[in-house]
Every structure is written in structure tokens, then in C-alpha cells.
């Protein structure tokens, strides 16, 4: 960390002097001599831009490890062992963003407590929480309370690793503060006016920021509920029973379809790492586990498909047949190849060419090649409904109420299906302009109701199976958030799977941290019982 923080500090000081603003995640080329500092808004925009998934993170972590562990897809060949390229990138992304966050915290501390300034503080706290939760949920204990201050205080060039429990409690407090201190109709005056102009998540809509804060509180309180029920329960109770604003997917019979996402075209960047990570990796296909969650049978014609998300997430093989790769392959399993993720498919007349050796169903080409309209998902309203459904079903923070659990569950299914269908409807390939609807028509009989005909709680044979249905639909909804599905699988041990239950619980720390922050890293490893995937992080039961 010493080198990373030092180089980051140098870059940050250069940023202050040259003021290279990234208003839309693209540098605005202006005369640097006309600026003496970077604005608060431009620094915040830089922090928001680091929510974009990294190239190596998608390749080496998501595609090579997490999809296999969650069984949201199948890995046909383990060809890449360089996962440290991914962990290094995740680590440097977070700690590279921290100096900007700490600088903003320092600046905000000098401002008044006007509603607009409080909103600015809240937006920063929420963004910081999102980034920190994601990193600690992958690694466990991480540098936090002392991290990011190296450019302000040399004593913090080797920051200590904070206990994950302490990090969680601190972030949950910050999110509560944000909810309680956001003013949705704050006066449109400086410095808030300029600052919110850089908001690429919600365009200054403070009600949505409050909803994001409480949705994250609900997600992470539930994540720690089996470890700290006395702390998690009251948080969940306060949010649900006091009707704190959260993201809404469905309002009984009406779609709302709220979410927190980075939408590339609207934000001003092209998510080129998305297509690259699949084109270069090549080895992900539809696995038998998720196929059996989307189809009643293995018919190659797709006659058993009851879930329209099958058409959104995957497509047929080179012979226009639906074929899943065995989640647990055997020696006689045919090998897979082809070119289903090649750039040639984004040309008129070439879309159906996937290579003769592409015998299993690949990811849908629109999902992996639409670099403009396919969102980077942070959290959806559907997930919030599934969180509430679990809380009511298990009596976590609220009294057991199976009827309310069923209502929230159905809201989750309805909103997930309709949200994904809306995304597909608006999806377009970047070169040819071919649209999803014209290239992949979804049968009109497939909709949320067809999913509920199979996965409605009334179809469950036991109460336990009803809970399994919640986790099943939650897993499907998180198809493009394998890190969140990974958290769900580790926490519950009950997500659908073939073969052994997940026993992969974390990723090892990147080698650079062990080298440059060796004493603190070694202490954290010792405290957690090791640095291997089978070592559970704090909130995992058992």
C-alpha cells in the first residue's frame, strides 16, 4: 500500500494543480493555467467514476471465479490462474479513490451545516459505503480508518487493517446519518448547486439518494443478521416498520422499477471493459444449474422455458439450439469452443455466427457487447423486495408474517422480470445499431406471471422450500452482479447449486499489500485464521 498511496498522492496533487475535471467521466480539455484547484463536484465525479467495474476485475474475478462459485453460469475451462491481476485492480481502485474522498471530507468539515452541504456530505458517505462494503465483503478485514490519509499525514502510509465488524458498524452508522440528514428539497444555492451537477447516479435527486442509503442499510444489516442479530434486527425493523424510503421495484400491481445503476450512455462513457472481458476470456456458458431455474426441461427447442430472462441472459448455440454445459462436468463432457463473443457478431449478417464448436449456449451477445445501454448495477428495487421477503419470512427485525413475505416476494419477481425486459428492450449493439427486440424476440407468453406459475410460493411443498424460492429468484436477479450473488451464496448456503455447497468464502489479499504493508497485513491474516479462500470472513455463519 505504501507505493500505491504515495503515487496516488502525487497524482492527486497534480490533479489539484491541473484541475482535469471529468464531468462525464471524460476529461474536459481546458487550459490548466486557468484553474488553481479541482472543484468539489469534479472530485466527487471522479469518485463516482471508480464504481465502474475494472477490466481485470471482470475478467479474472467475475468471469473466472465468481460465476463459477455462484453457479449463475458454468466455466467450461479454467484457463486463467492470474486472479491476482483482478485483486490488485480491485485493491488499487479502492485505495486510489480514497485520497479524493478524504480531501472532500476535509473540505466539507470547513463548511457550514446548511441543508445543501449536509446533502453533499451524505452523498459522499453513501458512495464511500458502497465502495467499502464491496471490498470488505471480498477480502474481510481491510485498511479503513487510517487509509487514504497518506498525502495528509505520513504516519498513515502504512494503515492498520480494521476488523470487518467495526467497518460494518461504522458504515451502517454513516448510512443512517445520511438518511436522517438529507433534505430532499434543499435550497438550490451554492455550493450544493454546482456539486449536484456532477451527480451521475441520480442527477441531484436527493430522495433517490435517501432510498439508496436505506436500501444499502437493509442489504448489509441482513448480511450480518446471523452474526449480530441484536444489532441487525433493530436496523431492519426501523427501516421496514418506520417505512423509511427504499428503492421500489413493484407497488403491488404497478411497476416502479427503481434501481441504482451507472448507465454508460447517459453518464458519458463506453463500458468497453465489458465486451473485452468476455471476448478475451471466452470460457463462460449457460450452466445446467441456472438452466434448470429457467426451463422445465432440457428440450433444445426451448419449449420448456418459462422465464423470459433466459432469452435476456443467454442465447442458443451455433446450431440455434438451447444447450447447457454441465455444472459439474465429467471426463466425457464434450469440450466447448467457438467465437460467440467475437466482434464480428456486431455486423449485419454475422450475428448468428458463433463458430461450429460453440455447442453450448453462450451469454447473450447484447449483455456482453452493449457498451452504451447495458447498466452497471449497484442495487435494484427487486433486491430490496427479496430482502424484505426474507425478513418477514424468518422474522428478522420484524415479526414473522408469511403473507407479507409472499407479497414482497411476488413484488420482487414481478419487478425483476419487468426491469430486465425493459433493459433488453432498450439494448442496442454499438457498431451495427442492431437492437435486442429485432434480433432476439422473446415469446409473448413469457412474463413475470409465467415465472410465478412455476415459482409462486403456492407451488412450494414445504415452508423451507418457500425460503429457497426467495433465494432462487434473488440469485437470478443478481445475474450481472456475481459479487452480490457470491455474498448471498456464502451467507445462506442455500442458493441453488449442483454438487457440493459453496466452500469458497473470500479472495486472498493482493501480493502488493503483503509486500508494502507487510506487518499490518500479516496481523490481519493471523487474526482471521489465514489468507485462503476457505477462511470465512466475519459475517458468514458457522
**318-349 pLDDT, tens digit each:** 999 999 999 999 999 999 999 999 999 999 99
Q: How many beta carbons lie within 10 A of that of residue 94, not counting itself?
A: 23
What cell numbers appear for 54 in the block?
Answer: 475494472
- Determine the average pLDDT of the residues in 212-233: 98
Do residues 382 and 249 touch, judged by C-beta distance below 8 A?
yes
| Greatest pairwise CA separation for the chain in angstroms | 71
Instruction: Quote the pLDDT of residue 30.
Output: 39
What cell numbers appear for 466 in the block?
Answer: 418457500
What's the length of the chain? 542
Question: For residue 30, which phi and psi values (nearest 5 degrees)?
Answer: -130, 170
pLDDT category of residue 155 using cuts at 50, 70 and 90:
confident
pLDDT category of residue 81 using cuts at 50, 70 and 90:
confident
CA angle 267, 271, 273 (to 5 degrees): 155
* Of 172, 292, 291, 301, residue with least CA distance to 233: 172
- Determine the average pLDDT of the residues in 2-7: 37
**pLDDT per residue as tens digits for the range 253-302:** 899 999 999 999 999 999 999 999 999 999 999 999 999 999 999 999 99
Its pTM stands at: 0.93
Do residues 520 and 161 touch, judged by C-beta distance below 8 A?
yes
Mean pLDDT score of the chain: 93
d(CA 382, CA 409): 9
pLDDT category of residue 95 using cuts at 50, 70 and 90:
very high
Strand, helix or coil at 392?
A: helix
Do residues 445 and 384 touch, judged by C-beta distance below 8 A?
no
Question: For residue 360, which phi and psi values (nearest 5 degrees)?
Answer: -115, 155
Strand, helix or coil at 171?
A: helix
- Determine the average pLDDT of the residues in 439-444: 97
* Of 40, 30, 383, 70, residue with least CA distance to 217: 383
At how many degrees (to 10) do helices 229-241 and 164-181 cross? 20
Instruction: Quote the pLDDT of residue 66.
Output: 98
d(CA 277, CA 255): 33
Distance separating the N- and C-terminal Cα atoms of the chain: 32
- Residue 101, Cβ density class (10 Å: 0-12 exposed, 13-18 middle, ≥19 buried): buried
Do residues 244 and 351 touch, judged by C-beta distance below 8 A?
no
Do residues 386 and 408 touch, judged by C-beta distance below 8 A?
yes
Q: How many beta carbons lie within 10 A of that of residue 439, not counting itself?
A: 18
Residue 156 has pLDDT above 70, yes or no: yes
* Of 408, 405, 450, residue with least CA distance to 248: 408
What cell numbers appear for 79 in the block?
Answer: 484457463
What cell numbers appear for 372 in the block?
Answer: 452504451
d(CA 247, CA 25): 25
- Residue 382, Cβ density class (10 Å: 0-12 exposed, 13-18 middle, ≥19 buried): buried
d(CA 359, CA 357): 6
pLDDT category of residue 18 using cuts at 50, 70 and 90:
very low
Residue 541 has pLDDT above 50, yes or no: yes
* Of 474, 484, 507, 492, residue with least CA distance to 540: 492
Strand, helix or coil at 187?
A: coil
Name all domains of the chain by residue range, CATH numbers in brackets.
Answer: 1-51+85-228+509-542 (1.25.40.390)
How far is C-alpha 366 from the geometric centre of its chain's CA atoms?
Answer: 19
Amino acid at each position: 500500500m505504501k507505493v500505491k498511496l504515495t503515487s496516488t498522492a502525487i497524482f492527486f496533487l497534480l490533479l489539484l494543480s491541473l484541475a482535469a475535471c471529468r464531468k462525464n467521466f471524460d476529461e474536459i480539455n481546458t487550459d490548466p493555467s486557468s484553474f488553481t484547484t479541482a472543484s468539489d463536484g469534479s472530485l466527487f465525479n471522479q469518485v463516482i467514476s471508480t464504481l465502474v467495474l475494472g477490466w481485470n476485475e471482470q475478467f479474472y474475478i467475475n468471469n473466472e471465479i465468481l460465476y463459477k462459485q455462484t453457479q449463475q453460469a458454468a466455466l467450461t475451462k479454467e484457463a486463467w490462474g492470474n486472479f491476482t491481476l483482478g485483486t490488485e485492480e480491485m485493491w488499487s481502485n479502492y485505495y486510489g479513490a480514497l485520497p479524493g474522498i478524504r480531501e472532500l471530507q476535509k473540505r466539507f468539515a470547513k463548511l457550514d451545516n446548511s441543508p445543501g452541504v449536509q446533502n453533499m456530505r451524505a452523498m459522499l458517505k453513501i458512495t464511500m459505503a458502497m465502495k467499502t462494503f464491496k471490498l470488505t465483503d471480498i477480502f474481510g478485514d481491510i485498511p479503513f480508518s487510517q487509509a487514504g490519509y497518506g498525502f495528509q499525514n505520513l504516519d498513515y502510509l502504512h494503515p492498520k487493517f480494521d476488523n470487518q465488524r467495526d467497518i460494518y458498524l461504522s458504515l451502517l452508522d454513516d448510512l443512517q446519518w445520511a438518511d436522517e440528514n438529507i433534505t430532499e428539497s434543499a435550497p438550490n444555492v451554492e455550493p450544493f448547486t454546482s456539486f449536484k451537477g456532477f451527480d451521475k447516479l441520480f442527477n441531484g435527486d436527493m430522495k433517490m439518494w435517501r432510498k439508496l442509503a436505506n436500501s444499502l442499510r437493509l442489504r448489509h444489516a441482513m448480511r450480518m443478521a446471523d452474526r449480530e442479530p441484536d444489532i441487525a434486527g433493530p436496523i431492519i425493523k426501523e427501516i421496514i416498520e418506520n417505512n423509511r424510503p427504499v428503492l421500489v421495484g413493484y407497488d403491488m400491481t404497478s411497476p416502479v422499477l427503481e434501481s441504482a445503476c451507472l448507465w454508460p450512455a447517459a453518464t458519458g462513457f463506453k463500458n468497453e471493459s465489458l465486451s473485452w472481458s468476455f471476448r478475451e476470456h471466452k470460457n463462460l456458458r449457460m450452466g445446467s444449474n441456472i438452466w434448470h431455474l429457467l426451463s422445465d426441461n432440457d428440450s433444445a427447442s426451448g419449449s420448456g422455458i418459462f422465464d423470459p430472462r433466459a432469452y435476456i441472459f443467454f442465447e442458443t448455440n451455433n446450431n440455434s439450439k438451447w444447450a447447457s454445459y454441465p455444472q459439474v462436468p465429467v471426463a466425457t463432457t464434450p469440450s466447448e469452443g467457438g467465437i460467440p463473443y467475437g466482434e464480428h457478431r456486431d455486423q449485419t449478417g454475422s450475428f448468428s455466427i458463433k463458430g461450429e464448436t460453440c455447442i453450448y449456449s453462450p451469454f447473450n451477445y447484447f449483455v456482453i457487447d452493449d457498451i452504451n445501454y447495458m447498466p452497471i448495477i449497484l442495487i435494484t428495487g427487486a433486491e430490496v423486495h427479496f430482502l424484505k421477503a426474507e425478513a418477514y419470512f424468518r422474522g428478522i427485525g420484524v415479526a414473522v408474517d408469511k403473507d407479507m413475505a409472499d407479497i414482497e416476494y411476488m413484488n420482487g419477481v414481478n419487478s425483476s422480470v419487468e426491469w430486465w425486459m425493459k433493459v433488453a428492450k432498450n439494448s442496442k449493439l454499438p457498431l451495427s445499431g442492431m437492437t435486442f427486440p429485432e434480433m432476439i424476440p422473446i415469446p409473448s407468453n413469457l412474463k413475470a406471471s409465467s415465472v410465478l406459475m412455476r415459482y409462486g410460493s403456492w407451488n412450494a411443498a414445504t415452508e423451507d422450500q418457500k425460503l429457497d424460492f426467495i433465494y432462487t429468484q434473488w440469485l437470478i436477479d443478481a445475474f450481472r452482479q456475481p459479487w452480490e450473488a457470491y455474498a448471498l451464496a456464502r451467507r445462506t448456503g442455500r442458493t441453488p447449486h449442483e454438487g457440493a455447497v459453496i466452500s469458497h468464502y473470500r479472495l486472498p489479499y493482493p501480493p502488493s499489500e503483503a509486500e508494502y504493508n507487510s506487518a499490518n497485513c500479516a496481523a490481519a491474516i493471523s487474526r482471521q485464521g489465514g489468507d485462503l479462500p476457505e477462511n470465512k470472513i466475519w459475517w458468514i455463519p458457522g
